[in-house]
Amino acid sequence: MHSESNMPTYPPHTKKIRRCFFFSLAFVIVIPIICTVLGSKLHPQEFAYKADDDTSDDSTRKISLHSDLISADLKQGTMVLDWSVWEDTCPSDCSVANDTCLSSECTVVNIYFDTNLLHHSDIGDIQSSGNNRPVDPIFIWNATADNDRFSNIATFRTELAVFPPDDFVDDDGTKPSVRDTLSSEVYYPFDRYLAAISAFAEDASSNATVPLSLESTSGLAVGLKISAVPLIDEVEGIPERIAVLVTLERATSVKCYCIIITIIFWLITLMICLVMIMTVGFGFQQRNEIVVVPVATVFAFTQLRSTMPGAPDGFGDILDFVGVLPCLVLLSISAVTMVGIYVFTDPAKDSREKLTWSALVNAVRPRKAPSETVDPKNNTVPLPESYSMLSLSKD
């Protein structure tokens, strides 16, 4: 018993300080780690595409390409890719470029792209379009030119056109609506777009088809998740051309950020509206610095909305209609009301009742009917109320 009485005791406020310190320490350590892990996991992965298993034999010449994603701009509707020749399976028995090599199996190959799937940025590049077979090659591949020190690097660039998924027709022969495909900036950040790659190769001398395949891809686009899948070709067996469908959508981290910001918009707006209702509607006392908060919040919301990655210019997307715009309307009404209250009264004066947490708890908590006492003269006297809003304000 004596030892227990000698144990040091801490006052309640000291325990509270210790709990606050350790909680704050854990918060500043755990939260950055969680955010870092989520940011690395939710970050868009590299643009990756893996070709199907090679079904061609060694006797057939095949050209494989590699593609690097340079940029993707959904507002401009473009996707820039850099291409390079990854592999050519023709016999490479030529040490120097001579007539013997030119007459060997490594003939010049023309690589064609579907021009209707390319983006024409300059007016001078626009030509008569049609559904005929392309006649102008995008790149001319000469395998024997690698032995020439003065030859150009075997690389070229294409600018693909980004189009909405509703350009495709469903199995029942009907085109899907924009609402079903989310193929518009109105549905930011849930909008989706497509880009198609269609290319083939021909022997320049005989016009014979040379198998062409996309071996691999790489590259990242800021704020976008880009994936590619092969299109089903009518010709089975040897892949004679490149047919790839690319899907572009917002990254998961961008979607999460936009949703969280929209929820924060509503939480702040509802709190300010509650303050306005208590101050203006029911006449409770309020500090002057709180009254001017809605005015500053109206301008802060527009700046916070501009931080959404890739958001359309101005207002008009789905998050604006369900979040930003209604919140701005409510905040504007609250700002006008809480500023206009100074015309009639001062919300911070002591004569107004003060709404405290203890008073709110006592008002909401179920209570029994007040009992009565009997004085010596047999007169019943009701007990006083357990609290008074005015007395709480004086405290």
Please give the Cα distance from 265 to 341 (Å, whole number).
24
DSSP-based three-state secondary structure for 244:
strand
Q: Is the pTM of this model over 0.85?
A: no
Give residue 77's region: left, alpha or beta (phi > 0; psi -120 to 50).
Answer: left
Where along the chain do its domains lie? Answer: 49-90+105-124+132-169+181-250, 251-356
Beta-bridged to residue 216, according to DSSP, are 66
The 8 Å CB, 24+ separation contacts for 380-387 are 386/362, 387/358, 387/359, 387/362
Q: What are the pLDDT tens digits along the chain (395 aa)?
A: 455 555 556 566 788 888 999 999 999 999 999 988 888 887 777 888 877 655 455 557 889 999 999 999 998 899 999 999 998 888 655 545 554 455 456 889 999 999 999 987 654 555 677 888 888 999 999 988 877 788 889 999 999 999 887 655 555 556 667 777 778 889 999 999 999 999 999 999 888 889 999 988 999 998 899 999 888 655 555 557 899 999 999 998 899 999 999 999 999 999 999 988 988 888 888 887 787 788 888 888 988 999 999 888 888 899 999 999 999 999 999 988 888 888 777 777 766 777 777 777 777 887 665 555 545 555 554 544 433 333 434 44
